[in-house]
Structure 1
Amino acid sequence: MRIGSSKFLLTVSALILPAVAYAQHISPVIAAFAVSPIVVLLLTAVLGFVSRSWLVGIAHAGLVLLWILLFGIASYWVENDYVIWTPLVLYGVHAVALVALIVRGLLRRARR
């Protein structure tokens, strides 16, 4: 991973992470990502189309489903709110990264 993209992901993570670990203080950004799995799965399909590789779309869809599964497991078995928040943050960062990858793919396609 390039340094620029890792800085981008760290910045987005810092903006999304909560200041407190209480589940009552869910950020609106996290709530928006949490209620939109269908939209994010559609983004994975668009990424697969833009990148001309359906395997890329399927891999990202698998990651989205993994974040949802990890959130379900963490919220059922774990008492620590930070552990429960982690899959949601990863899900949100992944959604933002999907949009960035789609834009990059469209820009590359426009240059050709």
Structure 2
Amino acid sequence: MLAAKAGSCAQAEATLAEVEREMSTLGLASDASLPTAEEQAERAQIATSRRAISQQLAQETRRSAGALARIDRALALLPTGCDERQVAAAAQAVKDARDALGASQRSLLEAVRDAQIAEDLGK
């Protein structure tokens, strides 16, 4: 079956070669290489779209750069990193102050109670 089609394939290849030779002799005289009015309009529209996209990209780039600059300025205003030892020492000082307050309150309550007892006994 392949042998029967081999002749047809050879004839098709010869025809293709002949058509290609004829097309190459036509060169630029052929209207097929010139863009149609529709293709020219489409290319103009594509060029316009590309320019618009390029402008939008530039605008977004400027906007992003501005946002990053604002973030950098805000970060520069923040205090430097805290030393964890200072935070731990401050937490311990708060705990000690609370303990001292609790002891003072207990002492005050005991003194008030003792004063009331002494007053009650003195009556």
Same fold (TM over 0.5): no
Higher helix share: 2
Relative to the length of structure 1, the TM-score reads 0.28
Relative to the length of structure 2, the TM-score reads 0.26
The structure, 1 or 2, with the larger RCO (C-alpha pairs under 8 Å, 6+ apart) is 1
Q: Which of the two has higher C-alpha Rg?
A: 2
